[in-house]
Amino acid sequence: MQLHVSPSLRHVTVLPGKGVREFIKVRVGPRWASYRMLFYSLLFFTFLLRFIFVLSTVDAIDGDHSKCSTIGCLGKRIAPKILGRRIQSNVPEVIYRILDEPVSEDEVQGKSDIPQTLQDFMAEIKESSKSDAKSFALKLRQMILLLEQRTRNAKIQEYLYRHVASSSIPKQLHCLALKLANEHSNNAAARLQLPSAELVPALVDNSYFHFVLASDNVLAASVVATSLVKNALRPRNFVLHIITDEKTYAPMQAWFSLHPLAPAVIEVKSLNQFDWISKGKIPVLEAMEKDQRVRSKFRGGSSAIVANNTEKPQVIAAKLQALSPKYNSLMNHIRIHLPELFPSLNKVVFLDDDIVIQTDLSPLWDIDMNGKVNGAVETCRGEDSFVMSKRLKSYLNFSHPLIAHSFDPNECAWAYGMNIFDLEAWRKSNITLTYYHWLEQNLKSDLSLWQLGTLPPGLIAFHGQVRVIDPFWHMLGLGYQDNTTLSDAETAGVIHFNGRAKPWLDIAFPQLRPLWAKYIDFSDKFIKGCHIRAS
Ligand SMILES: *[C@@H]1O[C@H](CO)[C@@H](O)[C@H](O)[C@H]1NC(C)=O
Ligand SMILES: *[C@@H]1O[C@H](CO)[C@@H](O)[C@H](O)[C@H]1NC(C)=O
Ligand SMILES: *[C@@H]1O[C@H](CO)[C@@H](O)[C@H](O)[C@H]1NC(C)=O
Ligand SMILES: *[C@@H]1O[C@H](CO)[C@@H](O)[C@H](O)[C@H]1NC(C)=O
C-alpha cells in the first residue's frame, strides 16, 4: 500500500496493495476487528476536506474488483457505508474525538517518532503492543499533520522558486559580467571613454534624439541598444544614455567599447558619476532605505509571514515577494529623477531593459505632447483583454480612504517601459514631489496603499500628465502570457517582455525569444565563452 502526497498537484493518491489485510487490525475494547474499512474512512474524512482525494485503485476495499478512480465513484462506494449504521457503529468514538480535537502548533514539532510514510505507520501499528484505538488515532493524526505541513512548505517553496527563478541572475549573465570586468582591467580598448571626446557635445545637444536606458544587465542593455540603432533610419542622430550602477559600470563600459554602435552616440555612466548624485541630493536613496526598513518589518517580517498556518501558500509567497529587494532597486526608482539627471535636455525617451525595438523611433519626437509630461500607452483597452485590463484599481488599494478620496478606480492605467518624457514640462510640475509625498504616505500606512513596484506611485505622480500614444509604440505582456503570437509581436514597434519570463532566463517563452535573441551575435567571443545560446 502506498500513500503519495504530491505537493504541486495537491493530490493524495492511495494505492492499496498486498498486506493491507494483516495490518489493519487494532484493538478496540474487548474484541479484534478488521479496521480495513475504518482506515479508509478515516483517511477519507481527514484528507478529503483538505485535498483532492484520488484513489487510483480501490479493489481492495471490499474485495470488489471494479476500478474506481474518480472522487464521485469513491464517494458512492465509501460514503454510504461510513454514514450508514453498519460502519458507524464500528468506528470507536475515541478516534473521532481525537481527530476532532484542535491541533496545537507544536504537536509535530521536533518529534522524531512520527511515521513519515504510510508504510512506517503500518509497521508501527503492527508492532506496537498498545495498538488501541486511541494511539492509532493519535499516530494517524500526527502523520497527517506532518504530511500536511510538508505539503504546505513544499507549496510555498514552489511559488517562491518561481519568483527566485525570475529575479536571480542566471550563471551565464554572471559569467558575462565577470569576463567583461576582467577584459576591462586587462585591455585598454575595453576602457574607452564613451562617447569619445569629440562626441561629448552631442550629449547635451537637443537637436539629437535622446534615449535613456537604466540597467545592470549587460546582455539586456546590448539588445536594447543594438535593436534601437539597427532599426534607426538616421542612427547618427541618436544618443543613447546608458545608466548603470557602480558594480556593473566596468562590464558595461567594456561591452560598449568593444561593440561600438557607430554612428549612434552611446554614453555609459554609473549613477555615482552624475553631478546631481555626487552633490548629495539623493532623496531616492533615502526613500529606498526607509522603504527597505519598513518592508523588512512588514507584517512582522518573513518568519511571521511563514508562521501563519491559516494563510494560503500562494498568499504567503506573494507577501514574501513584497519583501524582496528586487522591487526596491535604484535602477527602478531612478527614472523619477530624469529632469535632474539630464538638466540640459528637453525631451527623452526612457526605455526599460526588457524591451526590443523593431522600428525607427525618431517619429516619437513628432508626437505633440499637448503640454503633458509623459507619453505612454494605455493598458485598459485593446484586443488582448488579458494584458489590457489594467485600471488604477488594479494597482492601488481603493479600500483605503486616502486612495478612494483622491482617485477614480476605473481610470485607465498606463505602462512604463517606453515613455516619452517632456523634461521641460516636468520641471514646471511637481511630479517628483508628489511621488515622494505618496511614497511617504504608503510607508506611514504600513504599505497598505500599494505593495509592489514603482508603477503605483508613478500612476499617482503622473496623474493628469499623461499623453496617450498609439499602442503600436509599446506592445506589452510578452513575459507573463504566451498567447501573443510571433506574427502579432512582429507588427509592433516596440515589444516589452514585462513579467517573469524574461528572454534571458530559462523560463522565457520559446516562441517569443527569437525576437530578442536575433539582436545577439552568438559567435561573439564573450557570448560564446559564457555559453549563451540562441535557444
Ligand atoms: C493569518 O492569516 C489569516 C488569513 O489572512 C488572518 O486572518 C490572520 O489574522 C493571520 N494570523 C496572524 C497571526 O497574522
Ligand atoms: C503641487 O502639488 C500640490 C499638492 O500635491 C498641489 O496642490 C499643487 O497644485 C501642485 N502644483 C503644481 C504647480 O502642479
Ligand atoms: C487596503 O486598505 C485597507 C484600509 O486601510 C486595509 O485594511 C487593507 O489591509 C489594505 N489592503 C492591502 C492589501 O494592503
Ligand atoms: C492568455 O493567456 C492567459 C494565461 O497564460 C489566459 O489567462 C488568458 O485568458 C489568455 N488570453 C486570451 C485572449 O486568450
304 located within any domain: yes
Residue nearest to ligand 2 atom 6, measured at CA: 430
- Domain boundary (112, 146, 165) is at 165
Stretch 49-74: mean pLDDT, rounded?
A: 34
Q: Are residues 73 and 141 in the same domain?
A: no
Of 464, 389, 402, the residue nearest 430 (C-alpha): 464
Q: Are 69 and 101 members of one domain? A: no
DSSP letter assigned to residue 103: P
523 falls within a domain: yes
221 and 250 in a single domain? The answer is yes
Nearest to 440 by CA among 423, 460, 426, 465: 460
397 within a domain of the structure (yes/no): no
Q: Give ligand 2 pocket residues (Cβ under 6 A).
A: 429-430, 434
pLDDT tens string 146-186: 776 776 676 676 666 666 666 566 788 889 999 999 999 99
How many C-beta neighbours within 10 Å does residue 500 have? 15
284, part of any domain: yes
Nearest atom in ligand 4 to 481's CA:
5
Q: Measured in angstroms, how far is the CA atom of residue 335 from the centroid of ligand 3?
A: 27
Q: Which of 103, 134, 165 is at the close of a domain?
A: 165
pTM of the model: 0.72
Question: pLDDT band at residue 322, thresholds of 50, 70 and 90?
Answer: low
Higher pLDDT, 363 or 161: 363
- 150 and 229 in a single domain? The answer is no
Mean predicted confidence (pLDDT) in 492-520: 91
pLDDT at 533 over 70: yes
Is residue 361, in this structure, part of any structural domain at all? yes
For the CA of 463, the nearest ligand: 2
Range of the domain at 12: 2-82
Higher pLDDT, 161 or 75: 161
Q: Are residues 261 and 123 in the same domain?
A: no
> Is residue 330 located within the same domain as residue 426?
yes
Query: Considering the domain boundaries, does residue 71 fall inside one?
Result: yes
- Which ligand sits nearest to residue 396's alpha carbon? 3
The answer on 301 and 154 residing in a single domain is: no
> Which parts of 237-337 fold into alpha helices (H)?
246-258, 275-278, 283-297, 301-307, 313-322, 330-333
Find the ligand nearest to 447 CA: 3
Which parts of 322-410 are beta strand (E)? 347-351, 355-357, 374-376
Last residue of a domain, one of 82, 105, 135: 82
**Residues 390-434: pLDDT tens digits?**
899 999 999 999 999 999 999 999 999 999 999 999 999 999 999
Task: Give me the long-range contacts of 85-93 (CB less than 8 A, separation at least 24).
Answer: 87/37, 87/38, 87/41, 90/33, 90/37, 90/38, 91/38, 91/41, 91/42, 92/28, 92/29, 92/133
Same domain, 430 and 377: yes
**158 and 174 belong to one structural domain:** no
What is the distance in A from the centroid of ligand 2 to the CA of 433?
9
Answer yes or no: do 50 and 192 share one domain.
no
User: Is 399 contained in some domain?
Assistant: no
Same domain, 328 and 472: yes
Question: How many domains does the chain divide into?
Answer: 3
Tell me whether residue 408 is in a domain: no
Judge if 122 and 219 occupy the same domain. Answer: no
